[in-house]
C-alpha cells in the first residue's frame, strides 16, 4: 500500500507536467484544427530560460527562493511567449488556407530548427540545476523502513497546475478573449464577419499555450535538475498523446490525459520495467482510440453542410 501511494504521488506530479504541455496542443487544435508539433521545443526553450534566469539571479545575488522562483517563472513565460508568437507568425499563418499537410510539414521543420538552434546556442551537453526547493512531508512509513514522502516541490507543482488550469478555464469561459476563441473554434469566417480579430485571437492562443509550456519546462527543470536540447521531442510526443487520449480540443481532457500518461508511466516503471513504460502509455492510447475514437472527454465532430 505504501509503495502504491508513493507511485501515485510521483505519477500525479509527472502527469501535471504533461497536462500543461497538452493544453497548448489542444488549444491550438481547437481553434485552427492543426497540431503544433513545435510545441515540445517551446517547452524545452522554457526549461533553458529557467536555468539561465537562475544563473543570472545567482550572479546578481538574488538568492531568496520565493523571489527567484517567481522571476524564473515570469521570464520563462515571457520569452517562450515570444517564441510561440513567432512560430504562429512564420510557420502557420502563411499556410492557414492551404491543405493540412503543408502546415504539418512546416511545424516539423520548425521543431527541427528550434532543436538545432538551442544546441548551437547552448551546446549539446546537459545543463544541470542545483536543488532549489528541498524538504517535504513523511506521509506514511512501513515497518521495514520504507517512507512515503511528499516533497514541497511536488506540492508546488500540483498546486500551481491546478491554479493555472482553473485560471485558464475561467479565462476561456468568462473573458472577451475566451469568447473570441470559442467563436473562432466554431467558425472563423463568421467570427471575422462579426468583428472578431481572428489573426490576433489565434496569435494569443499560441502565446497562451507557449506560456503554459514554459511553466512545465520550469517544473521539469526543478524536478529533475538536468535538461538538454532534446527533451522537447519526447515530452512533446507524450503531451500530444495525452491530448489525444483525453480528447483533443478539450482542456479538461488534456489535463486528464496528462494525468493518465503520468500515472501509467509511474506504475509501469514501479511494478514492471522502465524500458517499456512508453510502450505501455502508447498501448493504452491505442486501446482508447479503438473503443472511443474521440478520447475520454472529446466530443464527436459534427460536419456542417
Structure confidence by residue, pLDDT tens digits, 175-201: 898 899 888 888 888 888 888 898 899
Structure confidence by residue, pLDDT tens digits, 275-290: 888 888 888 878 887 8
Confidence class of residue 38 from pLDDT cuts 50, 70 and 90? confident
pLDDT at 33 over 60: yes
User: What's the pLDDT at 301?
Assistant: 60
How many CB atoms within 10 Å of residue 205? 25
Distance CA 251, CA 175 (A): 16
User: What's the pLDDT at 149?
Assistant: 86
Q: Where are the domains of the chain?
A: 2-291
pLDDT at 49 over 90: yes
User: What's the pLDDT at 304?
Assistant: 52
pTM of the model: 0.89
Q: What percentage of residues in the chain have a pLDDT greater than 90?
A: 23
Alpha-carbon distances of 299 from 40, 105, 188, 246, 292, rounded to whole Å: 25, 27, 19, 10, 10
**Average model confidence (pLDDT) across the chain:** 86
Structure confidence by residue, pLDDT tens digits, 215-236: 999 999 999 888 988 888 888 8
User: What's the pLDDT at 28?
Assistant: 81
> Which cell is 84 given?
510561440
Distance CA 302, CA 305 (A): 9
Structure confidence by residue, pLDDT tens digits, 93-150: 888 777 778 888 888 899 899 999 999 988 888 888 888 888 888 878 777 777 888 8
Confidence class of residue 81 from pLDDT cuts 50, 70 and 90? very high
Confidence class of residue 302 from pLDDT cuts 50, 70 and 90? low
Q: The domain 2-291 is classified under which CATH number: 1.10.3470, 2.40.10, 1.10.10, 2.60.120?
A: 1.10.3470
Phi/psi zone of residue 164: left (φ > 0), alpha (ψ -120 to 50 degrees), beta? alpha
Amino acid at each position: 500500500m505504501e509503495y502504491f501511494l508513493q507511485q501515485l504521488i510521483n505519477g500525479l506530479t509527472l502527469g501535471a507536467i504533461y497536462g500543461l504541455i497538452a493544453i497548448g496542443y489542444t488549444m491550438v487544435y481547437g481553434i485552427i484544427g492543426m497540431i503544433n508539433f513545435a510545441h515540445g521545443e517551446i517547452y524545452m526553450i522554457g526549461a533553458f530560460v529557467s536555468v539561465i534566469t537562475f544563473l543570472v539571479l545567482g550572479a546578481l545575488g538574488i538568492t531568496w527562493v520565493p523571489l527567484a522562483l517567481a522571476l524564473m517563472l515570469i521570464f520563462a513565460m515571457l520569452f517562450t511567449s515570444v517564441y510561440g508568437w513567432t512560430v504562429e507568425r512564420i510557420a502557420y499563418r502563411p499556410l492557414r488556407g492551404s491543405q493540412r499537410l503543408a502546415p504539418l510539414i512546416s511545424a516539423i521543420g520548425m521543431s527541427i530548427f528550434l532543436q538545432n538552434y538551442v544546441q548551437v546556442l547552448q551546446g549539446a551537453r546537459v545543463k544541470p540545476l542545483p536543488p532549489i526547493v528541498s524538504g517535504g512531508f513523511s506521509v506514511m512509513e512501513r515497518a521495514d523502513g520504507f517512507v512515503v514522502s511528499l516533497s514541497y516541490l511536488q506540492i508546488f507543482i500540483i498546486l500551481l497546475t491546478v491554479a493555472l488550469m482553473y485560471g485558464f478555464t475561467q479565462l476561456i469561459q468568462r473573458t472577451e478573449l475566451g469568447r473570441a476563441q470559442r467563436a473562432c473554434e466554431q467558425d472563423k469566417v463568421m467570427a471575422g464577419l462579426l468583428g472578431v480579430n481572428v489573426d490576433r485571437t489565434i496569435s494569443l492562443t499560441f502565446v497562451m499555450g507557449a506560456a503554459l509550456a514554459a511553466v512545465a519546462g520550469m517544473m521539469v527543470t526543478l524536478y529533475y535538475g538536468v535538461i538538454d536540447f532534446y527533451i522537447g521531442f519526447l515530452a512533446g510526443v507524450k503531451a500530444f498523446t495525452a491530448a489525444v487520449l483525453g480528447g483533443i480540443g478539450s482542456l479538461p481532457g488534456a489535463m486528464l490525459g496528462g494525468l493518465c500518461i503520468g500515472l501509467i508511466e509511474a506504475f509501469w516503471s514501479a511494478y514492471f520495467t522502465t524500458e517499456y513504460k512508453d510502450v505501455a502509455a502508447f498501448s493504452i492510447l491505442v486501446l482508447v482510440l479503438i473503443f472511443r475514437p474521440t478520447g475520454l472527454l472529446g466530443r464527436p465532430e459534427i460536419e456542417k453542410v
